[in-house]
Copies of this chain bind each other. A is one copy, B any other.
Amino acid sequence: MSENVASFPVADSPSAHDNEQPKTQDVGGVAGQRLASFIERIERLEEEKAALMEDIKEVYAEAKGVGFDVKTMRKLISLRKMDTEKRREADELLELYKAAVGLA
C-alpha cells in the first residue's frame, strides 16, 4: 500500500530554520546544493571504480600477452573467491548455531 511519493522530498536542511532564502532558485537551494555535493562525491567514486576496472582488464590483457589463458585465470580467481566466501559463511553458520542454541 504505502508508496513513497516525494522524489525531492527534503526540506532544504535537516534543521532548516535559517530563513534567509538564497534568492537563487530554492529548488536547488541549500538542499539542492547538498544533493549536488552527494552526486559529485558519488560520481567521483564511480570514476575511480571505472578506472580500477580498466586496470583489471589491463592486467588480464598483459597476462594474456605472455601466454596465459584468461578464461582459466578468471575461473581460478572465481574459485578462490568462493573459497573465501564459503569459509566466511561457514563461520557465520557456526555463530548462528551457537546463537540458536543459546551460546552467546
B-contacting residues of A (Cβ < 8 Å)? 1-2, 4-11, 13-14, 31, 34-35, 38-39, 41-43, 45-46, 48-49, 52-53, 55-56, 59-60, 62-63, 65-69, 71-73, 75-82, 84-86, 89-90, 92-94, 96-98, 100-102
Q: Are B69 and A4 in contact, CB atoms less than 8 angstroms apart?
A: yes
How many protomers of this protein does the assembly include?
4
Given contacts A76-B93, A92-B75, contact A102 B49 (CB under 8 A): no
Q: Are B46 and A102 in contact, CB atoms less than 8 angstroms apart?
A: no
Residues of B within 8 A of A81 (CB): 46
CB distance from A37 to the nearest CB of B (A): 9
Of B65, B72, B85, the contact of A100 (CB 8 Å cutoff): B72
CB distance from A63 to the nearest CB of B (A): 4
